[in-house]
Structure 1
Amino acid sequence: MAGADTIFRFSHPLRVRWAECDLQGIVFFGRYYEYFDIGMTEYLRALGVAYPRDFLAAGGDLFIKHSECDHQGSARFDEIIDIDTRIARLGRSSIVFEFRVARAGEALANGQIVYVFADPEARTTLALPADFRAAVESFETFDDKE
């Protein structure tokens, strides 16, 4: 799970829009998963990976295996939030993304999504593309590798 001790080398700022909020101007809890998705997409873009095109060209796509979100605070309408994103672990076919949504350095939500790279038709796992693995490994540092 992402936390204060986790090093995020990538962050994407976003202004909270009214459509993401309830009547009190507080971000609806389910929107944090949308923020995680934005973080993942922008992280991959920063690495030079076009999602989903590059994965499909390699014969597979990403499927969610697990997701979680812990809330510590609330973002509000018109605030600038940062979506901190990292890949915490690469397996043979799995990717563990960690996220932190923060306002001025204060964590509002931490999350994790585990994706599995698989054949879209057969739904059988495939090894992650070598060029993707190399791009991630040149950007991130890992404590353990599978």
Structure 2
Amino acid sequence: MSARTAPVSPPHDELAGPALRAFFRIADAWGLKNAEARRLLGDPAESTFYKWKKQRDGAPGRDVIERISYLLGIFKALELLFPDPTRADAWIRRPNHAAPFGGGSALDRMLSGNVADLYVVRSYLDAQRGWQ
């Protein structure tokens, strides 16, 4: 596909508010503590995090948008794998002996701070759904 026919993604600014609102809904569903939520977003400054949380809007960078994108995929995959929302939301905190988790939880893996670990969790769930 040439550059002329490549699909155009929405401007970053158009994604910021919806992405932050979705993230905070997921954080509520998963019962994340503020420190955990900040870590999943890549440790933005506390003042920035609390501003985003209060306003549900802001101007996060590309890294934060990428992280939220992975978290949205994880959330959606869990909804598909576990039709019971309580069970889906609890999965991230349960010990897991699958190779990517080594007995820890998916949340433990995601809280490493590396965006690559969000990718690993999402890839694992996609594979469980048969989307390899």
User: Taking structure 2 as the reference length, what is the TM-score of the superposition?
Assistant: 0.31
Point out the structure with the larger helix share: 2
Q: Name whichever structure is richer in strand by fraction.
A: 1
Which has the bigger relative contact order, CA under 8 A and spacing at least 6? 1
- Per the normalisation by structure 1, the TM-score is 0.29
